[in-house]
Amino acid sequence: MTINIITELKNTEIITLQQKIIELKKEIILMRIKKNTQQNIKTHLIKDKQHLLAQMLTVETLKLNK
């Protein structure tokens, strides 16, 4: 499944990729706020989203260096 996500990210344009990165960063921040205020949240999703963010940032770096 992760291979499909990476290939999908490689095929997207740099502008849309950057927009997705910003949205994902916002989601992670909101999830951390919910966790710190002891609201009901599945904490494993934070780690999953951080992993996806790292993949997106890697693809962005590869595209910018080409």
The answer to whether 6 and 42 have CB atoms below 8 angstroms apart is: no
**Taking 90 as the threshold, does the pLDDT of residue 28 lie above it?**
yes
- What is the per-residue pLDDT for 66? 82
CA distances from 49 to 29, 30, 64, 65, 66 (A): 11, 12, 22, 24, 26
Annotated domain spans of the chain: 2-65
- The CATH class of the 2-65 domain is mainly alpha
- What is the per-residue pLDDT for 1? 47
Residue 56 burial (CB count, 10 A): 20
- What is the per-residue pLDDT for 25? 98
The answer to whether 20 and 8 have CB atoms below 8 angstroms apart is: no
In tens, the pLDDT along 11-26 reads 999 999 999 999 999 9
